[in-house]
């Protein structure tokens, strides 16, 4: 369950083609209560589900919703203000191709 984003908090100069997104896995997203050094987004926790070794969170950042697996040592709850960041090299660019019901690519 990856994140599909159209922008990056690191101010990357990525030129995304139509139908392309940046992908970052929830386990690679870092969440903190304090602003980290460098670039980060400030957001608010919209969903928090404790799963033992981590808490699955959905964090609203402007029009984006970022999914993150937060280590259990950081107590986090619904409505908390947090900072979200990740290592830029962990992002991947993904292009989505539209297909019809038979799997034929649309142009």
Window from 22-31, 32-41, 82-91, 92-101 with minimum mean pLDDT: 92-101
Tell me the C-alpha distance between 23 and 7, whole Å: 10
Q: Give me the percent of the chain exceeding a pLDDT of 90.
A: 41
Q: Give me the percent of the chain exceeding a pLDDT of 70.
A: 73
Query: What pLDDT is recorded for position 33?
Result: 93
Tokens of 57: 């969170």
**CA-closest candidate to residue 11, choices 40, 44, 31, 43:** 40
Give yes or no for residue 53 having a pLDDT over 80: yes
pTM of this prediction? Answer: 0.76
Query: What pLDDT is recorded for position 79?
Result: 96
* CA-to-CA separations, 38 to 30, 50, 66, in angstroms, rounded: 13, 28, 19
């Amino acid at each position: 369950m990856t994140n599909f984003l159209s922008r990056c908090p690191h101010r990357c100069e990525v030129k995304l083609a139509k139908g392309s997104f940046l992908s970052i896995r929830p386990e690679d997203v870092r969440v903190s209560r304090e602003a980290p050094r460098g670039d980060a987004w400030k957001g608010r926790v919209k969903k928090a589900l404790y799963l033992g070794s981590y808490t699955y969170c959905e964090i609203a950042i402007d029009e984006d919703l970022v999914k993150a697996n937060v280590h259990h040592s950081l107590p986090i709850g619904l409505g908390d203000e947090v900072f979200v960041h990740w290592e830029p090299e962990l992002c991947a660019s993904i292009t989505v191709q539209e297909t019809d019901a038979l799997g034929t690519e649309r142009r």
